[in-house]
Structure 1
Amino acid sequence: MVPLATRLTLAAACLITLTLLPQVSLANDLEIIVKAPSSNCIEGCYDALALVSYADIKAKKPALADYCNSTTFVQSLALCGDKYCSAIQQEEGWEYIVDECKAKKVKLAAQATILAAIDMSSVQEVDTLSHQKDKTAYNQTILLSKYSWEMGYKTNNVKSQQDIHNHAYGWAVYILLGTAVLIGALNRLFSIYVHRHLRPLESSSSAALESGGALPSQASSKGAGLWSTAYTLYKKHFATPALFGYRHAQPWGWLSIPTRIQGFFIFAYVAINVVFMCSNYTIFQDNLTRYHDETLQLQRYVADRLAIMCFYNMPLLWALAGRNDVILWITGWSYSTANIFHRWVARMVVFQGFVHGVLWAVMKRDDWKDRFLHRMYWTTGIFALICMSFMVVLSVRPLRERSYEVFLIVHIVLALASLVLLRFHITHMKGEYEPFVWATVGVWGLDRAIRMCRVAVLTFRAFTRTGKNTVAVMSDEKSGLIRLSITTSIRITPHPGDYYFLYTPLSLRPWENHPFTVASWEQDPSGNSTTLHFLVAPQTGTTKRWRKKVLKRKERTDNVRMLLEGPYGHTNPVEQFERVLMVAGGSGITSMLPYIYKLCHHDESERFDNITTRHVTLVWIVKDTKYAADVLHHELREYINEHSEKAQSGIVFDVEMYVTREENATTTGLINDLAHEGASSSSSSSSGSASISSASGSNTRHGSLSEGEGEKTFNGTPDTPSTAVMDQFTAVTLDGHVKPNDTDADYEKRPAPSRLKITSGRPGMPALLRSKVDTLVGRERLAVSACGPAGMTDDMRRAVCDIYGSPQEDGVQGGTVEYFEELFSW
């Protein structure tokens, strides 16, 4: 149900838009006065004199070269300038005319020389505006009437205003882009400053533990003053929340809802376009461009302006579509953010191109069919508009998500076709707008070249005859998970958040590529390569074919050849926070695994310099327990095994798993199976244990931490109760011993093994977040990372926004809790 406030806001926006559209017809009231170029005086003479015919010009539709070769016309032009123009206007104007004629290989004499050759006795004054439809061909010099010259001069001044206005639009858009990049970079610097400013020289919690004193509460910690307050307000009201309501990952119909900071720039971009499209049209009677027809004048100006604006947007549109976007490198924004901007620029480009084409079709409605058949720029322009329109229509979310491979191929083909067609569409413009086309080609070509270089550098050995560099393993057919271990051709150092596009060059569709997040990695001790590990949950298309190929092998293992392109993505600095809360839904666990891997596989020297994390809680919400058991047994096994070196690395690691199946009997059986998987992750020399809570039967999205009734806990096996509960962590070691008398301080001081807790039901995000915030002591900080279903991430986003505030309001500062969202959308 859309909130009433949202509906009223949208209604108001639509009303304003509908109100602005009719104002285009009244746009002559909105003028920007600019100083006209001095050459406009002579140009005004040229345009007014060109309205009539001359005996020494035989062409039916004279061109510039014809006028330059006409003695009568040139003498009349020189006389008009001498009569109505100042000395500086004559000098600059005649220089302009000489250069134009020189470009047509016609050499003009100086204005004074031409004036000296005129027989003034035969000169007659002519009002070319009144005689433009006459068939009279003048064979002697004429003096342009003052009114005709004034209209020609005014027409050229209006042209100059339009040119300045149109190019000012380009500057405005690119300045907006620069501002967005600058704010994005400053946002990163601001965040770094606040976190460093809040970090004490000596942790207050550590000092308390060493002295044996009590732990200070979070509420008693003082903020960092003005900077901290400003940062909190910025995060709560601007950077974190969705534009309206709380949906961001979830679509609103067919549209993606941006965050407020994204919405600000989208609004600014659209506002700039609306203002420049609807303002500064000077319409007047006797305009030489459209004589006596003010409607045609407005149509021509609007059509021309929107075409120019469309060309200014083209390089930006293609830059935001590329994978190798320097904007993302500078700002740290995600590909999803760039993709949102790309879609809005695309909508504006298609709208501008569509209006441009429709207006020209209306203006030339009497002969547009003839133009379409016999004029290349008309034909190519129409087909370019058709391609661009289909691109937008076929890019709607339902079609894009249902058949992405088809969408991608069609999108690329139509984009290239429209670009080629636009190049031929502007051939009659004498190269004036070709730089925009070639800039767009350069942006696209550079992105493709970098992508090819990435593939060649990372996996050049895969091109050899024996270049099978990938091992595909399916450990459990029921879970359906495929593990790909791809060895690179050079040594690289991956980072959490990195994702790579995978190609299968020997398949029937070698061009297809899909993004996968790297789960973990191993570097060859010899320093020649790195092995990247990926988790693949086969869906349809390529991944389904991978699954079938692996299952054909009895051992469910296959050696294949794959190409890598990357890395892309960005890394969230969760290691800078003392406590980390990772919330994953379903396959969203793949985004959390590399962060866990980095935190638990660091060198001891790196521990004190870069990693301050002391406690990690992984909350995993699953409904496919076979999938969960497979990941738990393989990827998470070493972290919940007390005999593993990583479990004793000094970072306390908790796993809270929520199984969301509704059937009680089925859920109990699956939980028991999963418990044995967790228990079996211990070494064979000890009896492992896991804490199991059953709280089934609730689907409420917001509520208590563990939704449902009647918690049951088990120690080792489902029939042996334990003292563990969901609301309070109890020190349960994996060798089966319970230490109920340990205080939180004692627990934090020892390198305790990690714990596994499994619950049926679904956690409420606000209660889950509050429970972790309440465990913060002193000036500890909490990083919250979420990846999974759109509803879950939106719930967590709103919970973080709600928890921001002053300590008096039972809130936390923006530097204390930071929200990171792992969201990848097409």
Structure 2
Amino acid sequence: MKSLSLLSLLAAPAIAHISQGRTQHGLIGYGIRMYDPPCAFACRDVVTGWMLHCGDAGTGGQSHHADMEMETPSPLCYATNDPFLQTLAWCISTHCQSETMSKLEGWWEHYLVGRQPGQPSPKISYQRALANVDEPPTTIISEDDYLNTTSLVDEDSWLAKLNGDGGYDITEKRSNTYGLVLLISCSVIPTVFSLFRFLPLPQSFVSKFYAYFIDPPAFGHSHSVPVFGMGIVPTRGQALFIAYIWIINILLSAVGYHITWPNSWYGHKPEEVTAYFGNRVGVLSFANLGLTVLYSSRNNILLYLTNWSHSTFLLVHRWIAFICTLQACLHSAVWLQIYLAQGAEAHAEQAALEYWIWGIVATMALVILLPLSILPIRQKMYELFLASHVVIAILSMIGCLLHIYYRFTWQWGYETWVYIAFVIWGFDRFFARPLRVLRNGFKRAYVTVVDEDYLKVDIPGVQASGQAYLYFPGLTWRVWENHPFSVAAVSGQGLSRALSFERSGSKSDAPSEELDKEGNVVKSHNIVQPTRGAGITFFVRRHGGLTSQLERVASSTSGTLVLVESSYGPEQMSIIPSPVAKPSLEYPNVIFFAGGVGITAVLPLLDHANSLCSPLGKAKLFWGVRTESLVESVEKMLGQQGTRKNGQSNWANIEVNVSVGERFDVRRVLETELNSSTGGTTVVVCGPAGMSDDVRVAVSALARHGAVLRLSEESFSW
């Protein structure tokens, strides 16, 4: 009997919480009361340990804290049994003297019988039950007897119950508080740090600060180039924020435990600490789940409130996802160890329950996501990565909800954390994205082959800028698949229109012929396609998957069906100005570095360099490209064909240097340009990972030695 009682004592938290309790909304400590007041719950826990005579009102028995072979009294028995009501009232009156009468009456009405929905109310009020006590009790009835008169409670038992209920309540409140601290701080910090740019600090100080603490890679010389082809080294600024996320998660997992003894919930203090830790990391994992979804969203609200790029948020998203998964694994491992310590029978009993099974599903789904999200898979199997990522992530969140439901029903509000993740995910997927697509409607995309590496895509009837995600439902049955591209030009607007206007005397509308070595025509095509109206243009480098299928419709005069989700990018998303290529009094000079198809992101930015402030400084473009065909195609689009001599030309106010098949010496170019410049300089880069890293390292090095520079990288991150 003693060993059975001990096992019951150790398993009390699990058994006590697998119940059909009343639904509450909010979080523990924030709208949900768990054991409040704990003195009254401790009294009930002790008094329900006695057997009751209830007759037709319910069966006699004991609570889960005693002999499990006895039946537990029915709710009606608790509501109508006079010795039970009077003993409980007397215990409350002697142990809850600091509580108000209204609070005690409220507790009596809602929790005396239990937490079940639809349960009967006590037949009399708390004050009436206390008044029915004829004489103050002086003895404690033996735990083996039936409770048939008013009795005192054992003080040691009451204290153990108080510590168990109260300690758990306090610790869970703190866990939810810490979860909110984590969620809010990781949302507020990016916003606050984005506002620092408005501080009136000297340019030289800001430039050096970024060169030392923000822009360089955290270590080494690579940021865009993956380390061993597997992962991205964050910049120092990104690393500082990631370090904060790690530190705050570790601290919040380690502090704030309310350890009390004696404790009816646990056999010894190490078990109490272990159980609290398991619950804490579970709550923090839920909080990180919401952050993980938030940071991955294209329509992340933080993109509007900060000047941080989507690439930065995606990078941090992967780190938070790892922490979230680690905490879920710790939560599972801790509770596995607790039940294994209670014996194989206790573990087998729990492992057969639905909450346990769905907890395993949720945890394993998170674990599986990690290897399926490594960089080689994202790059080589992008479509498979996206589809599997969404399906498994949703499975994990559903598993979390069912784990909570079968464990606690909706009593304690743990599901609120998962609801937050679902709301963020649903807003992005089912509201913001469809809205961006619907504003453009169904369009046709016309594809032109530039060369064996590049394609040109024109979409008439769409006005967009920055970046757009394109869906090609006519090319694949996987209609949800989409790819991000930079808008190279908007016909009828911006740079292409301005440059074409200045070059109106050129032969841009004449047929263009390609000749072989003997002068024979081998290819002839018109630069200007048949009039289809104004629209947007993309240059696409062919990879595997969907982009390789675009070539199939290159010869089609009717094009292919396309849906355009736009517009994205720092200028379109953020209400806080970003360091894009807009000449200003502080930074009148702009130097652009583009590599290959990276020119698509740079072309719209060149428009800013032709703006009002352009006479204050200079603007230069250095474009390294593998093939001449891409250069000719862009020049034709801009009406600039035939203007280039020895790799140099002028596009309006922009000095253009083109290098075909050879890289620029970035450091030497920057030193040369800075020696002949006055004022601050913005350096913009978009191109292959190696070029981006070269520019980043060179800008940081020069800024550390006194140059007034700021860096703007235009890039996608998967």
Q: TM-score range by the shorter chain?
A: 0.7 to 0.9
The alignment partner of 1:575 has SS state of coil
| Whole-angstrom CA distance in 2 between matches of 1:543 and 1:73 | 75
2:646 to 662, 670, 691: 691
Report the Cα distance in structure 1 between the residues aligned to 2:633 and 2:616, rounded to whole angstroms: 24
Do the aligned partners of 1:520 and 1:597 also contact (CA within 8 Å) in 2? no
Of the candidates 529, 542, 546, which is equivalent to residue 542 of structure 1? Answer: 546
Structure 1 residues 568-594: Cα deviation after superposition (integer angstroms, max 9, x where no partner): 112453131433211123332222222
In 1, Cα distance between equivalents of 2:656 and 2:354: 72
**Which position in structure 2 is the counterpart of 1:107?**
121
Q: Which residue of 2 aligns with 1:632?
A: 631
AA aligned to 2:683 is V
Q: Residue in 2 aligned with 1:485?
A: 458
Aligned to 2:440, the other structure's residue is in SS state: helix
Structure 2 distance, partners of 1:503, 1:240, is 37
Q: CA deviation at 1:113?
A: 1.5
SS of residue paired to 1:307: helix
- Could you tell me which runs of 5 or more consecutive residues in structure 1 were left unpaired when the two chains were aligned: 1-35, 194-225, 463-468, 601-606, 642-680, 683-687, 693-731, 735-749
> How far is 1:784 from its partner?
0.7
Q: Deviations over 1:47-93 (max 9, x none)?
A: 33344444445363568776445433332221112223325366534
Partners of 1:539 and 1:751 in 2: CA distance: 33
Partner of 1:331: 306
How big is the shift at 1:414?
Answer: 0.6
**Structure 1 residues 376 and 758 mapped into 2: Cα distance closer, same or farther (>3 Å)?**
closer
Opposite residue 403 of structure 2, the aligned amino acid is H
Q: Secondary structure at the match of 1:507?
A: coil
Check whether the contact 2:52–2:73 (CA below 8 A) recurs between aligned residues.
Answer: no
1:83 to 65, 71, 94: 94
2:163 is the alignment partner of 1:154:
yes
TM-score, structure 2 as length reference: 0.78
Q: Does 1:502 align with 2:483?
A: no
The reply on whether 1:429 has 2:441 as its aligned counterpart is: no
Q: Post-superposition shift, 1:364?
A: 2.7
Report the CA distance between 1:513 and its aligned residue: 0.7
The Cα of 1:308 is off from its aligned counterpart by 1.9
Distance 1:84 1:139, change over 3 A: same
Q: Following the alignment from structure 1 to structure 2, what is the Cα–Cα distance between the partners of residues 138 and 547?
A: 85
| Residue 23 (structure 1) aligns with | none
Higher relative contact order (CA 8 A, sep 6+): 2
1:48–1:148 Cα contact (<8 Å) kept = yes
Tell me if 1:616 matches 2:619.
yes
Instruction: Return the match for 1:390 from 365, 368, 375.
Output: 368
Counterparts of 1:677-826 in structure 2, within 5 Å, are: 681-682=641-642, 690-691=645-646, 756=657, 758=659, 761-777=662-678, 779=679, 781-805=680-704, 811-813=706-708, 817-826=709-718
Deviations 1:719-761 (A, max 9, x none): xxxxxxxxxxxxx989xxxxxxxxxxxxxxx989956564775
1:454 and 2:440 matched: no
Q: Is the 8 A contact 1:82 1:90 kept in 2?
A: no
Alpha-carbon distance in structure 1 between the residues aligned to 2:458 and 2:645: 30
Q: Which amino acid aligns with 1:766?
A: R
Q: For 1:666-685, list aligned pairs within 5 A.
A: 681-682=641-642
Distance in 1 of aligned mates of 2:291 and 2:219: 27
Q: What is the Cα-based RMSD across aligned positions, in Å?
A: 3.2
Cα pair distance change 1:514/1:305, threshold 3 Å: same
| Residue matched to 1:567 | 567
Q: Distance in 2 between matches of 1:452 and 1:584?
A: 32
Distance in 2 between residues matched to 1:396 and 1:758, nearest whole Å:
34
Indicate yes or no: 2:221 matched with 1:246: yes
What is the rounded CA distance, in whole Å, between the counterparts of 2:623 and 2:644 in structure 1? 19
* Residue type at the aligned position of 2:633: H
Letter in 1 for 2:327: Q
- From the superposition, tell whether residues 66 and 823 of structure 1 become closer, same or farther in structure 2 (CA, over 3 Å): farther
2:482 equivalent to 1:521: no
Contact 2:140 2:152 survives alignment (8 Å) = yes
SS in 2 for 1:798: helix
**What displacement does 1:516 show?**
0.8
- Cα deviation 1:299-350 (Å, max 9, x = unaligned): 3212222222222233222222211111111212111111122112211221
State the number of aligned residues.
Answer: 612
Q: Name structure 2 gaps, 5 residues minimum.
A: 1-33, 62-70, 498-531, 572-578
What secondary structure sits across from 1:143 in the alignment? coil
User: Is the Cα contact below 8 Å between 2:624 and 2:660 reproduced in 1?
Assistant: no
Q: Which residue of 2 aligns with 1:673?
A: none
Residues 1:144 and 1:355: Cα distance change in structure 2 (over 3 Å): same
SS of aligned partner of 2:399: helix
The residue that corresponds to 1:696 in the other structure is: none
The alpha-carbon deviation at position 46 of structure 1 amounts to: 2.1
Which residue is 1:273 aligned to? 249
CA contact (8 A) 1:54 1:139 kept: yes
- Give the 3-state SS of the residue equivalent to 2:601 in structure 1: helix
> Deviation of residue 390 (structure 1)?
0.7
1:514-556 CA-partner distances (Å, limit 9, x unpaired): 111111111499xx97400011121111111111342xx4xx7
Q: CA deviation at 1:353?
A: 1.5
Does the CA-based 8 Å contact 1:48-1:288 persist in structure 2? no
Distance 2:603 2:136 in 1: 95
Q: Is the 8 A contact 1:787 1:793 kept in 2?
A: yes
State whether residues 586 and 620 of structure 1, in contact with CA within 8 Å, keep that contact through their aligned partners in structure 2: yes
Give the letter aligned to residue 570 of structure 2: H
Distance in 1, matches of 2:652 and 2:566, equals 37
Q: CA deviation at 1:796?
A: 1.6
Return the alpha-carbon distance in structure 1 between the equivalents of residues 90 and 654 of structure 2.
98
| Aligned equivalent of 2:382 | 404
Letter in 1 for 2:235: T
Aligned equivalents of 2:660 and 2:458: distance in 1? Answer: 32
Distance (Å, rounded) in 1 between the aligned partners of 2:421 and 2:76: 33
Could you say what secondary structure the match of 1:458 adopts?
coil
Indicate the SS of the match to 1:573. Answer: coil
Question: What's the TM-score, normalizing by structure 1?
Answer: 0.68
In the alignment, which residue of structure 1 is the partner of 2:60?
58
Residue 398 of structure 2 is aligned to residue 420 of structure 1: yes
Report if aligned partners of 1:473, 1:557 keep a CA contact under 8 Å in 2: no
Cα drift, residue 153 of structure 1: 2.4
User: In the alignment, is residue 581 of structure 1 matched against residue 591 of structure 2?
Assistant: yes
The structure-2 alpha-carbon separation of the partners of 1:422 and 1:751, relative to structure 1 and needing over 3 Å to count, comes to closer
Shift of 1:169: 0.5
**CA–CA distance in 1 between the matches of 2:534 and 2:653?**
32
Q: Matched residue of 1:691: which SS?
A: coil
